Amino acid sequence: MKLGILADIHSNLEALRCVLGALKDIDGYLCPGDIVGYGPNPNECIEIVRELRCGAVAGNHDLACIGILDPRRFTEDAREAVSWTINMLTEDNRKFLETLPLRLEGDGFEMVHGSLRNPAEEYIIGLKDGAATIELMKKEICFVGHLHTSLVIVKDKAGKYDGWQLNDGDMVDTTKFDKVVINVGGVGQPRDMDPRASFGIYDTEKHTVEIRKVEYNIIAVQEKMRKANLPDFLIERLKYGR
Q: Could you give all domains of the chain from N- to C-terminal order, each with its CATH number?
A: 2-237 (3.60.21.10)
Q: What digits encode the pLDDT tens for the residues 69-122?
A: 999 889 999 999 999 999 999 999 999 999 999 999 999 999 999 999 999 999
pLDDT for 210:
98
**153, 132 in Cβ contact below 8 A?**
no
User: Rounded to 10 degrees, what is the CA torsion of 131, 135, 140, 144?
Assistant: -50
Of all residues in the chain, what percent carry a pLDDT higher than 70?
Answer: 100
**What mean pLDDT do residues 177-192 have?**
98
Question: Whole-number mean pLDDT of the chain?
Answer: 97
pLDDT for 79:
97
Strands (E), 108-175: 109-112, 141-144, 150-156, 161-165, 171-173
Phi, psi of 136 (to 5 degrees): -100, -5
Other beta carbons within 10 Å of 92? 11
pLDDT for 81:
98
pLDDT for 73:
87
Q: What digits encode the pLDDT tens for the residues 25-76?
A: 999 999 999 999 999 999 999 999 999 999 999 999 999 999 999 998 899 9
Give the model's confidence band at 228: pLDDT under 50 very low, under 70 low, under 90 confident, else very high: very high
